[in-house]
Structure 1
Amino acid sequence: MLKTISPLISPDLLKVLAEMGHGDEIIFSDAHFPAHSMGPQVIRADGLLVSDLLQAIIPLFELDSYAPPLVMMAAVEGDALDPDVEARYRQALSLQTPCPDITRIDRYAFYERAQQAFAIVITGERAKYGNILLKKGVTP
């Protein structure tokens, strides 16, 4: 155990966060996301909610200030988003002030970004469209 590091952050996740450079992206996915077929390193965080992990990592993780650092999947036509999901994520990220806007992109564009991500963290999140991409910034 390390002081001031949340016990929700596994050693594997801490290593990945430290190895990422500015501009690298990481996905925190819901339990239904096809992470293992995407290609990048997969870290399991079964039983944890995305919002809890976001709250745990944001004190350690500088978001990009030159490009949109938060990206979520837009609803497929005819489907609806649950606004509570984004609200929970924004609340968890509120330690990063000001909290940047969350950009929405279509499902297949999100999959393409996921294939290029540094890593994907599969969580126990069950919310539909519960995936979020974070782009790492330059640490001041």
Structure 2
Amino acid sequence: MHYSMVSQSISSNSNQANVFLELDKPQWQADRGTISSREFRASMPREPRMLIGISPYISPELLTAIHRMGHGDEIVLSDAFFPGDTFSQRVIRADGIGIPDLLDGILRLINIDDFVDDPVIMMEAVPGDSLDPEVEKSYRAEIDRHWPATPPIRRIERYAFYERARRAYAVVVTGQRVKYGNIILKKGVVPVAG
């Protein structure tokens, strides 16, 4: 049986990914003739079920990584140009996804460490270069949406950032295409009731 993709939409408002399939009817008729609705449903591809409240930008691999991270562990969300494989044994690909969307998805699931002065780190510009302030502003908007008490983002020198990335739990290479777009988050302690 043959299916063709009609449309795929990802809605950040509803946090659902919707994929619509349409039966390739001429091929279906030639292959199978007329079948019952029960046979038709049984022949449909089995898709994994979505989890409620998890952004469609969070892949199963990324979900596993942030679940396995302990408090104090760090995760790098890198731009598309970052040499992730050079610095980490645990590289997660998020091609085509921007860092603000990933921040929104991740920060729904974890909190930022509030026991340290600088739980969010970005790379400072190398001498003679400049930063685009809109990049940090877009990241900060997502951080403030979920954890508004987070201290200001700290900027560190390029090679200090690389050393910090080497020690991170994971590096997520995104589709973000901006200079100095890399950011490190330190995972906090999940509050326990009682």
**TM-score bucket of the superposed structures, by smaller chain:** over 0.9
Gaps of 5+ in 2: 1-49
Q: Distance in 1 between matches of 2:149 and 2:67?
A: 23
Q: Percent identity?
A: 55
Is 1:89 aligned to 2:150, yes or no?
no
1:2 aligned counterpart, secondary structure: coil
Aligned residues: 140
Query: Deviation digits for residues 16-68 of structure 1, max 9, x if unmatched?
Result: 00000011000000000000111230000000000110011111111111111
Q: Distance in 2 between matches of 1:133 and 1:99?
A: 13
Residue in structure 1 matching 2:75, options 10, 20, 26: 26
TM-score (norm 1): 0.97
Conserved 8 A contact 1:38-1:114 = yes
Q: Distance in 1 between matches of 2:185 and 2:123?
A: 12
Conserved 8 A contact 2:72-2:186 = yes
Gaps of 5+ in 1: none
Q: What does 1:4-23 align with in structure 2 at a 5 Å threshold?
A: 4-23=53-72
Query: Deviation digits for residues 65-121 of structure 1, max 9, x if unmatched?
Result: 111110000000000000000000001112212232100000000000000100000
Conserved 8 A contact 2:98-2:176 = yes
TM-score (norm 2): 0.71
Conserved 8 A contact 2:114-2:150 = no
